[in-house]
Amino acid sequence: MADSYLPPLISGELGQGTLKAAADRNFYARGTHPAALTSIDDVPISQLLQQFGSPLFVFSERDLRAKAHRMRKAFKTRYAKTSFAWSVKTNYLNAIIQVFRSEGWIAEVVSDFEYEKVRRLGIPGKDIVFNGPYKPRAALQRAVDEGALIQIDNWDELSHIEEIVAHARQPLEVGLRVWLDAGIRPVWSKFGFALANGEAERAAARIIGNPKLKLHTLHCHIGTYILAPEAYGITARKLVALREQLHSRYGHLVECLNLGGGFPSHSLLHGMAGPAETAVRPVEDYADAITDVLNDLPARKRPLLRLESGRCLVDEAGYLLTTVVAVKGIGRSVVSEADLSARDYKERLILGEDSKVGYVLDAGINVLYTAAWYQFDVRPARLINAPITPSRLYGPLCMNIDVIRENVDLPPLTTGDVISLHPVGAYNFDQSMQFIAYRPAVVLVGLDGKPEVIRARETLDDVQGPERIPAALAGTR
C-alpha cells in the first residue's frame, strides 16, 4: 500500500495568479448586480451627455463646499489661528477657484502663469502665496510690488529678491521653504532649504539680518497623497524647533508655520486594497497630528497655521463621463490551441491577459493623466443585471500605453454605453493635453442643481490659434 502512495502535487500556478485569482474561478464571485451611477447631484447622466456631449468632466459644487466646510471645522475647532490657501495647480479652472475663494480660501500659486491667472480673476496680491522652484525675475518683481507672500525656494531666488527690495521703503514679508525628513519616501529635497545640515537656518538668518526683509513664514510641503497623518506631526515639531532656534539666536519669532498640503482624497493607488474610505484616514486625524503640536506651545507663542490643500478638497467632486465606442476580445473560438486541456484552457481564459473584454472609450490618458497612478472607480450609467467579469479600459489614442484601467470588474457593455470615472477632480484637467483630440467641456452642477459650462469644449481654433506659418510656406499646397 505504501509503495503506491503519491504525495500531493502543488501545481505551478500557485502564487502566480492575480490577487483576484480565487474570485476569478467563480463566475458569480463579484455578484450579479453591479453598482451603477445614473446621476450626479440628482442630474441624470443621460441628460448631461445629451446637453454637453461626450466625454465630459462634471464637478459638484455641493461636494466642493462640503469638503471645505469639513476641513475648516476640523482645523478651526482645534486651532482657531488657521488660514487656508487653495492649491491652484490642483485645479486652476476659474469657477473652482471662485468656489474656494467664496469659502474664505486665499490662492497658492507655483508659477507666473498661475499668478497672472488669479490676479486676472481679481484676487489681490496680499491674498496670494507664491511658491515654486522657479519664479521669473519679472514675476518676482510684480509679486513684490503687489504684496504677495513669496516663499523663497533657493539661494539664487533670495539674491534676486534682495536686489529687488534694495531700495524699498518698507520691509517685504517673505516665507522660507524648508525640506526635511518626516519619515515619508521619497523625501522632497528638490524644494527649499535643507533643515538637517543647517542650510535652512543660514537662509533664515540672512533674511532676518536684512532690514529690507521680514521672515513671516516657515513653510514645508512633505509630498503628495500622504497616508500617514503622523508625518505632519513630525513636520510640525521640526518647524517649531527651527522657529524656537531662530527666536533664541536672532531674536525673531516667525509669525506663521505653513504645513503645505498633500492630504489624500478617497482614491486608491494601483495595487491598493479598498474601499478608499478605509485606506485613507479622515481629515480630522491630520488636524489632530498638526494642532496637537501647536497647542502644546504657550498661547502667546502660538503661530498662525497655514495649509495649502488641493487634492483632498477637489478630487472627489470631479467625474469624467465617457462613452464606449468599441468592444474587443469577445469573439474568440472555444479552443484556440488543440494541445490545451479543458482545465488549462479555463485557467488561461480566467487569468490570461487575452481573456479580458476590452472597451475602447472616447476619453483616454490625454485627459486622465493620473490614471498612471490611481485606479479610478468605474461605474456604468445604467443598471445591467448580468454577471461581472474582468475587463480592460482603453482610451482612443493611437498609443499602446493608452490604458485607463488594466483590470476592472464590469458587466457586459456595448457600444454607446456610458461609464463614469471617479474621483478625477485633482490634476487631470490641468495636466490634460491636446494630443490628437480636443479637450472636453467641463460642467459644474451648482447648488441649485443646474449644470453650467465652466470651460467650453475645445475647437480647432483653440488648438491652432497660436500657430504661425512662415511666409515662404504660406502658399504651399
Ordered by where they begin, the domains of the chain are: 21-56+317-330+341-456 (2.40.37.10), 92-309 (3.20.20.10)
The DSSP code sequence of 380-410 is: ESS---S--EEEEEE-SSSSTT-EEEEEEEE
pLDDT at 6: 60
* Average pLDDT, integer, range 295-308: 97
Please, are residues 143 and 165 in contact by the beta-carbon 8 Å criterion? Answer: no
* Average pLDDT, integer, range 250-261: 98
pLDDT at 244: 98
Please, are residues 457 and 438 in contact by the beta-carbon 8 Å criterion? Answer: yes
Distance CA 100, CA 86 (A): 7
- What would the pLDDT profile of 78-113 be if each residue is shown by its tens digit? 999 999 999 999 999 999 999 999 999 999 999 999
Distance CA 243, CA 253 (A): 7
When the pLDDT of each residue in the chain is averaged and rounded to a whole number, the result is: 90
* Average pLDDT, integer, range 2-26: 54
342-349 contacts at long range (C-beta below 8 A, 24 or more positions apart): 347/13
Distances (CA, A) of 359 to 34, 47, 87, 399, 412: 17, 23, 35, 15, 10
Distance CA 125, CA 119 (A): 7
Show Cβ contacts of residue 353 under 8 Å, excluding neighbours closer than 6 positions.
Answer: none
Please, are residues 203 and 242 in contact by the beta-carbon 8 Å criterion? Answer: no
Q: Name which of 139, 130, 140 is nearest 107 in CA terms.
A: 130
pLDDT at 348: 53
pLDDT at 386: 84
Q: Assign residue 307 a region (left: φ > 0; alpha: ψ between -120 and 50; beta: otherwise).
A: beta
pLDDT over threshold 60, residue 1 = no
Distance CA 153, CA 177 (A): 5
Ranges 150-159, 239-248, 410-419, 466-475: which has the least confidence: 466-475
pLDDT at 385: 87
Q: Name which of 83, 84, 177 is nearest 130 in CA terms.
A: 177
Please, are residues 394 and 359 in contact by the beta-carbon 8 Å criterion? Answer: yes
This prediction has a pTM of 0.88
- What would the pLDDT profile of 162-206 be if each residue is shown by its tens digit? 999 999 999 999 999 999 999 998 898 899 999 999 999 999 999
220: confidence class by pLDDT, cuts 50, 70, 90: very high
What the block records as the C-alpha cell of 344 is 488549462
Q: Assign residue 143 a region (left: φ > 0; alpha: ψ between -120 and 50; beta: otherwise).
A: alpha
pLDDT at 151: 98
For 278, phi then psi, to 5°, come to -95, -20
Q: Are strands 318-328 and 418-422 parallel, antiparallel or unpaired?
A: antiparallel
